[in-house]
Amino acid sequence: MAAGPPPPLEPCPLPTFPEEGFTEKFLRKTRENPLVPLGCLCTVSVLVYGIICFKKGNTRRSQLMMRARVIAQGFTFAALLGGMVATAIKSR
């Protein structure tokens, strides 16, 4: 049997997505996983308060705030991983 060349492949059109600005994307991602922005806000606020305490010379409170910042960062990271797992499970 003499087989000819395979038929040419038809180019399939790429899917189109609506343009999404920064604000729309931020709001959509916040609705999907609200704990991540909350953790970021908590981390920044603890960091700022720790820096203020450091500038005032209150080293004990400053060290406490730096430890609290690490805990807040851990919470944010856990929320990020939890959101990724939830999205992966939901997409199945």
Number of domains in the chain: 1
Residue 80 lies in a domain: yes
| Residue 45 counted as domain residue | yes
Distance CA 75, CA 36 (A): 9
Domain assignment present for residue 28? The answer is no
Residue 75: domain span = 33-91
Lookup: tokens for 74: 């851990």
> What digits encode the pLDDT tens for the residues 37-92?
999 999 999 999 999 999 999 999 999 999 999 999 999 999 999 998 988 898 77
Q: What is the mean pLDDT of residues 29-33?
A: 89
Neighbours of 37 (CB within 10 A): 14
Residue 22 lies in a domain: no
Instruction: Kindly tell me if the per-residue pLDDT of 2 is higher than 70.
Output: no
Listed in sequence order, the residues at least 6 apart from 51 whose beta carbon sits closer than 8 Å to its beta carbon are: 62
Please count the other Cβ atoms lying within 10 Å of the Cβ belonging to residue 81: 10
What's residue 14's pLDDT? 76
DSSP designation for 57: T
Q: Is residue 5 part of a domain?
A: no
Does 3 reside within a domain? no
